[in-house]
Amino acid sequence: MTLDWPTLLPLIFAGLMGIAILVYVVLDGFDLGIGILFAAAGDHEKDTMIAAIGPFWDANETWLVLAVGLLLVAFPMAHGVILTALYIPVFLLLVGLILRGVAFDFRAKVPTHRKARWDFAFLAGSLLAALAQGYMLGVYVLGLQTGLAAFAFGLLVAVCLAAAYAAMGAAWLIYKTEGELQQKAILWLRSALVFTVLGMGAVSLATPLASPRIFARWFVFPEMLYLAPLPILSALLFLWLWRLTFRLAETGDTHSLKPFLALAAIFTLGFLGLAWSFYPFVVPERLTIWQAASATGSLGLILVGTAFVLPVMIGATIYVYRVFGGKAADLRYD
């Protein structure tokens, strides 16, 4: 492959889009997960959970905006194909994000006797957004297929991704809270891990069956050697994390951040496996990165703008997480 600008620029934007999606899944995953965990929390615990994500959740969603924006401007053909095929789940995703955003503010402003309905709206919006993302992932893995089998697989991945987000939320609560809520979060993490493993296993089994080309990358020597470290490392991290959940109750805050970092690493390994499987296609088996890319001149201009925007986003994210580090305080709106 000749690495001239027409070849290199689409690769750069594919990498940037992939990074934006991964950062969104990790960061917004934990606050979507905390919203899902509202189903098992008490009223006072919900206030503490909101305080644990309050400074971060809105900014986390900007990474989704960046990813979709890059897809639109850098790969417009793929944007049209993917969003047309996934029109309904994308619509439901937006409804869920809007619902949880409205509920986040309204729960603090309504009378106490009406607070419960907005807590339920926050839970419903978080769950709907997570399920919609999981369904889109499942259908994308199958090459945007339609039919009963694709629908059923999409639902399976939707449930398992919601559980994975709940695990991320529980891991974040272990880091940001203490006392009884922290102990509850350990139990929530342990339960959610089972469905997370199921979801990653389902995607891993279905991905090579979606295409003979992908099957060859997974199970034909020597290509399979390149992929082998990813599932092995993921399995080891899951086992280590499972054992850690039984030690967290005794060690207090000594290892409180490790569950979140372990899950972030597992998500990263899973993402790398999908990227390796589908490369060089941006729409599975239909459009390659270069076929779907915008004109070279347009990509060059967009890259200049991205070079200014991306460092600002990264710097702002790091700054916010540093300033609001430590344990979540009592929820206040004054």
Residue 214 identity: I
Residue 302 within a domain: yes
Q: Which of 274, 299, 292 is nearest to 143 (CA)?
A: 274
Q: How confident is the model at residue 189 (pLDDT cuts 50, 70, 90)?
A: very high
Burial letters for 39-55: b for 16+ Cβ neighbours within 10 Å, e otherwise?
eebeeebbbbbbbbbbe
Rounded CA separation 223/183 (Å): 44
Q: Report if residue 332 sits inside a domain.
A: no
Question: What integer is the mean pLDDT of 286-308?
Answer: 91
| Separation between Cα atoms, residue 48 and residue 50, nearest integer Å | 5
Residue in this structure with the two tokens 């206040």, named with its chain if needed: 332
Give the chain's domain count: 1
The amino acid present at 115, given as its one-letter code, is: K
Which helix or strand (DSSP H or E) is residue 45 part of? Answer: helix 43-53
Cα dihedral: 166, 169, 175, 181 (round 10): -70
Give all strands (DSSP E) within the chain, no chain letters: 281-283, 287-288
Q: Give the whole-angstrom CA distance, residue 56 versus residue 324.
A: 9
DSSP 326: S
Is the pLDDT score of 257 beyond 80? Answer: yes
Residue 284's pLDDT band (boundaries 50, 70, 90)?
confident
Mean pLDDT of the chain: 88
Look up residue 257 and give its DSSP letter: T
- Rounded distance between C-alpha atoms, residue 161 and residue 133, angstroms: 8
What is the rounded CA–CA span in Å between residue 56 and residue 196?
A: 24
> Mean pLDDT highest for which of 255-269, 272-286, 319-333?
255-269
Instruction: Report whether pLDDT(74) > 80.
Output: yes
* 287-288 and 281-283 strand pairing: antiparallel
**Is pLDDT above 70 for 203?**
yes
Structure tokens at 153: 């697989």
- Give the pLDDT score at 146: 84
DSSP letter at 328?
Answer: -
Q: Rounded distance, CA 172 to CA 321, Å?
A: 12
Whether 2 maps to a domain, the answer reads no
**What residue numbers bound the domain in which 48 lies?**
7-323
In a domain, 330, yes or no: no
pLDDT at 110: 78
* CA 50/CA 105 separation, integer angstroms: 11
CA 217 to chain centroid: 25
HSE (side-chain half, CA atoms, 13 Å) at 62: 10
Query: Considering the domain boundaries, does residue 269 fall inside one?
Result: yes
- Note whether residue 331 is domain-resident: no
- Whether 30 is in a domain gets the answer yes
Dihedral Cα 85, 88, 94, 96, nearest 10 deg: -130
Contacts 24+ apart (CB under 8 A), 16-19: 16/70, 16/306, 16/310, 17/67, 17/70, 17/71, 17/74, 17/75, 18/271, 18/275
Name the residue with tokens 């339609």.
146
Does a structural domain hold residue 334? no
